């Protein structure tokens, strides 16, 4: 089944009218060696295969096209969004293709690759203090959005965020793995967990939806501790069966181990998801655990997270914005 599904995805993406048509249909691959649990199969949804390298391409396209249809986004309007990096890059790609200007508000400890990509796509960048994280970026963007020349999609409260995953990501998982028993994703905006989780539970109410949540004070950015004081409006915690806390060090180790055992180069927040998914797998006698890896590691090479000694790399993780 996996081989046929992969072939179908390749066929679906051979030819598209433009780059936006290449969004989605990402591979779902087995990671048996990483799991190391007899009777339980682990699967990784590789969202790094999207055009800009992250799952945020899905929501950027959906939010912008919904806004165009509703009239909220018109020619001459400037798109404005607070982001820790990937959503901004995805919006920059969509905006460039559609002819809109974009301003992103981003913490100043984003990796160099993210900042350079935003610049290359032509985005205007407003930096906020890194120690305030994405919450600080949200506060600044909300003040800027009072100016009528801006349209802010606001991924944290936009229903199109979850709907992109409900109609896209979840349907792909069910197409490729209808026997899925558990789904693990990072707790960030809440869109992935809400959209995929709701659709999988419609398919089978017994499917477990598990969130990887960073420990309070841990910088696994893009992932969000609800204890930080901001709960994304689109997040419905009743849909979650479990939340598992994970440290930045555990996230780094998960990402490094996946590269060593499976040859998959994923981002650090993906490492957090892997850490939690393996804990889930080891608690089971049988099952199919699907874990969503939101991006690849290519945007973070400059940090040395994969090449430095582990103790030094863990320190870098604690100080760097990852998603």
What residues are annotated to the active site?
56, 269
Under a CB-based contact definition with an 8 Å cutoff, are residues 309 and 284 in contact? no
Radius of gyration of the chain from Cα atoms? 18
The CA-atom distances, in angstroms, between 281 and each of 38, 74, 136, 187 are 9, 47, 36, 19
Angle formed by the axes of helices 248-262 and 268-282, to 10°?
A: 80
DSSP label of 176? H
Taking the C-alpha atoms of residue 193 and residue 162, their distance in angstroms, rounded to an integer, is: 8
Taking the C-alpha atoms of residue 281 and residue 289, their distance in angstroms, rounded to an integer, is: 7
DSSP string across 202-220? HH-TT-EEEEEEEPTT---
**Residue listed under structure tokens 């419905």:** 236
47: CB partners within 8 A, 6+ apart:
26, 54, 55, 169, 292, 293, 294, 295
């Amino acid at each position: 089944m996996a081989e046929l599904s992969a072939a179908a995805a390749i066929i679906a993406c051979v030819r598209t009218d433009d780059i936006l048509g290449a969004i989605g249909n990402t591979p779902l691959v087995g990671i048996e060696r990483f799991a190391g649990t007899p009777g339980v199969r682990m699967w990784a949804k590789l969202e790094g295969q999207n055009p800009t390298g992250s799952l945020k391409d899905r929501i950027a396209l959906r939010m912008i096209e919904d806004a165009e249809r509703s009239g909220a986004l018109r020619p001459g309007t400037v798109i404005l969004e607070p982001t820790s990096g990937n959503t901004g890059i995805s919006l920059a790609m969509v905006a460039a293709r559609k002819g809109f200007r974009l301003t992103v508000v981003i913490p100043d400890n984003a990796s160099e690759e993210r900042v350079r990509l935003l610049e290359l796509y032509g985005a205007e960048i407003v930096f906020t203090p890194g120690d305030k994280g994405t919450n600080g970026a949200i506060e600044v963007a909300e003040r800027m959005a009072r100016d009528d020349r801006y349209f802010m999609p606001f991924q944290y409260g936009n229903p199109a965020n979850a709907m992109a995953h409900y109609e896209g990501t979840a349907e792909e998982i069910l197409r490729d793995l209808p026997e899925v028993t558990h789904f693990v994703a990072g707790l960030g905006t809440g869109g992935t967990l809400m959209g995929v989780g709701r659709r999988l539970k419609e398919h089978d109410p017994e499917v477990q939806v598990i969130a990887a949540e960073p420990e309070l004070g841990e910088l696994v950015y893009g992932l969000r501790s609800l204890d930080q004081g901001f709960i994304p409006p689109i997040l419905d915690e009743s849909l979650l069966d479990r939340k598992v806390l994970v440290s930045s060090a555990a996230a780094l180790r998960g990402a490094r181990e996946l590269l060593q055992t499976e040859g998959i180069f994923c981002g650090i927040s993906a490492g957090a998801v892997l850490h939690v998914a393996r804990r889930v797998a080891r608690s089971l006698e049988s099952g199919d655990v699907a874990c969503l890896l939101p991006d690849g590691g290519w945007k973070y090479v400059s940090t040395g997270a994969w090449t430095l000694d582990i103790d030094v790399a863990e320190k870098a993780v604690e100080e760097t914005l990852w998603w």
